[in-house]
Amino acid sequence: MSVFDIDTILKQAMEADASDVHLVAGHPPMVRVHTKMEPLADYPVLQAEDTMAIIKHMAGDRQMARFDKIQDSDFSYAVEGLGRFRVNAHQQNHGPGITMRAIKDEIPPLSSLNLPEVIGKLTYLPRGLVLVTGATGSGKSTTLAAMIQEMNQRYHKHVLTLEDPIEYAFKSDLCVIEQRELGQDVPTFASGLKHALRQDPDIILVGEMRDLETTSAAITAAETGHLVLSTLHTNSAASTIERIVDMYPANQQNQIRSQLANTLQAVVSQQLFKRVDQPGMVPALEILVSTPAVRNLIRESRTFEIPNVIETNRVMGMQMLDNAIAALFFNGMINREDAIAKAVNPEKLHKTLAA
């Protein structure tokens, strides 16, 4: 057995409570534990042939062919009794590299994620578009999985997910849940969405609205009476709406603003923080809930006014990200440096925390 047995490495990483594992030629195995990168103990430096052997062990023929063609491949890898991992294999200047994100076997209950109460209320929506946004590693997938699981335990509905790759593996409870993986079960998100509308779904999860075709299909699905959940790599409600509109040609932007105004139910923007009161991570959220005022702002291209609407509608569960960050700090859950570093308005938050 090689000193770089991948299952053993992953077991040690999980014992260290790592969220990510990095295997890069020229470095020893590295793990991210509560946002900090550190080496796994007692491992030598990986050589290019070591990382390539690990890729060949984990990847199937289709994923390996993609890696050979474009020097990048995304897939999932499972270790019995340990869990599943989202994998990106890629080429870098010293040889192959591998990044793995741990996906826990058990979907955490929504109530355990330190999320505001309004997130639970979104699981009662019968239709429309709900977007969970944030940077890579901000907890979007976990929030969405917990929302799906909440509905799985409440409704007798048909849930269809389109993912790249499949992350949390759902078990049908009251719902019938089908999961389709990009490349393996469906060629593209847009194609999967097009055919999904003929598969009698009630709830559709789209891994990411990454292009115009996928975005258009997701909004159409929401317009036709489905509840559609998806993600974007944006950091605020206003920037999320503008990102979607900017995907469209200028002559279609008024139309998409009208469609978004009619279908958008909520935007939840997340950031994750390392806790200082106990081991683990905690999210801070900006939350926009669609109201008649919000819908008018979207139609009239006045998204710059959305922060004001959020500030004046806290009673509905809306909140600004910096207010959520400040609350975590004052509750003793995060430190001042992290709070200010991830703030939308660092100078203003600095004054707030010093008050």
pLDDT tens by residue, 22-63: 999 999 999 999 888 999 988 999 999 999 999 999 998 989
Residue 133 contacts residue 93 (beta carbons within 8 Å):
no
Specify the pLDDT at position 99.
97
How many percent of the chain have pLDDT more than 90? 87
Specify the pLDDT at position 247.
97
Specify the pLDDT at position 137.
86
Collapsed DSSP state (helix, strand, coil) of residue 274: strand
- Higher confidence at residue 105 or residue 282? 282
Specify the pLDDT at position 184.
84
Amino acid, single-letter form, for residue 218: A
Specify the pLDDT at position 1.
45
Specify the pLDDT at position 355.
74
Q: Is residue 216 part of a domain?
A: yes
pLDDT tens by residue, 121-135: 999 999 999 999 999
Concatenated DSSP letters for 71-114?
SEEEEEEEETTTEEEEEEEEEETTEEEEEEEEE-SSPPPGGGTT
Look up the CATH number of the domain holding residue 281: 3.40.50.300
Same domain for 178 and 308, yes or no, is yes
Per the prediction, the chain carries an average pLDDT of 94
Number of domain units in the chain: 2
Collapsed DSSP state (helix, strand, coil) of residue 312: coil
Same domain for 262 and 129, yes or no, is yes
What's the rounded Cα separation, in Å, for the pair 32 and 99?
Answer: 11
Q: Identify the burial level of 15 via C-beta atoms within 10 angstroms of its C-beta, where 0-12 means exposed, 13-18 middle and 19 or more buried.
A: exposed
Mean pLDDT of 277-295: 96
Q: Is the pLDDT of residue 293 over 80?
A: yes
Q: Is residue 306 part of a domain?
A: yes
Specify the pLDDT at position 136.
87
Which residue range(s) make up the domain with 98? 6-103
Same domain for 123 and 23, yes or no, is no
Q: Is residue 336 part of a domain?
A: no
Same domain for 221 and 272, yes or no, is yes
Q: Where a domain ends, among 87, 103, 119?
A: 103
Specify the pLDDT at position 2.
67
pTM for the full model? 0.88
Mean pLDDT of 255-275: 97
How many percent of the chain have pLDDT more than 70? 99
Q: Is the pLDDT of residue 232 over 60?
A: yes
Same domain for 98 and 119, yes or no, is no
Strands 158-163 and 176-181: parallel
Same domain for 69 and 117, yes or no, is no
Q: Tokens 């590299």 map to which residue?
A: 97
Specify the pLDDT at position 94.
84
Q: Is the pLDDT of residue 80 over 90?
A: no
